Amino acid sequence: MHHTHKLLLAFAAAVLVAGVVLLWNQTSHAPEPGVVKAPNQSTESPKIDEAKLVDLTYPFDDKTVYWPTAKPFEWQKESWGKSAGGYWYTAARYSASEHGGTHLDAPIHFGEGKQAADEIPLTRLVGPAIVIDIAAACSGNADYQLSAADIAAWETAHGKIPGESIVLVRTGWGKFWPDKKKYLGTDAPGDTANLHFPGISREAAELLAQRKIEAIGIDTASIDHGQTKDFITHQVLNGANVYGLENVANLDRLPAKGATLIALPMKIKGGTGAPARIVALLP
């Protein structure tokens, strides 16, 4: 692991620890008897700068976009209100496909023998974020695919994409969420023939695999473009044990480089994918 990556991981871990410390301090009791604080000792708890935290996750509800053939998100109240004992009590149940909303594609999704959702180490779920913006090209072409030339242009401007980074592709498609017709190209249940949204080309996928990245993310329903017939981008990247992040929100709020990404999926044993809470820490 590169030294820079280790520092980023350590910094992200420190931020998480700071949050735990903050919550602990807010609920802690007064100092033990006999303990005297120094006159100038600050009693203010460490705080996380909220302006540096970006939520890259869409909420899960009846409007959440799923693949046309997938089971949608369902949520039902089981108990809601005053209980027989007179106190407030709520509980609900949910069900859904692994692949819908903001979620993780485990490498095993299209990579035989590769990691399942529960097998991806935490160290791979936290890392430096690289954002390649192709929104301008996509605005006039719903079937546009990230090319090797797009990656070369990014590297000319920002330097070679480092290994063990998490590459995010911004197409601008987030502006259509959750309008299925505009976001997918079709809102007909089961219709996969008329899907139109940007993705990542085979040549770009092969180049990113050569860069030894940890993950690939995108603000559309799939890392493959809507009109794919063979999901070759999934095959290439999952086959290289690279996991995917799809339907990622708010990519317009991230810089081209410098942010740290934390992508934590539901830990489904043997899962081919899972809903994920994705956040970014700005530099």
Q: Helices (H), strands (E): how many in the chain?
A: 7, 12
For residue 95, the Cα-to-chain-centroid distance in whole angstroms is 20
Q: Is the peptide bond before 178 cis (omega within 30 degrees of 0)?
A: yes
HEC profile for 150-202? HHHHHHHHHCCCCCCCEEEEECCHHHHCCCHHHHHCCCCCCCCCCCCCCEECH
225 noted as active-site residue: no
Q: Map residue 117 onto helix, strand or coil.
A: helix
What residues contact residue 184 under an 8 Å CB cut-off, 6+ apart?
Answer: 65, 68, 195, 196, 197, 221, 226
- For residue 104 the two structure tokens come to 């993780």
Active-site residue (options: 109, 158, 225, 234): 109
- For residue 192 the two structure tokens come to 């996969």
List, by residue number, the catalytic residues: 109
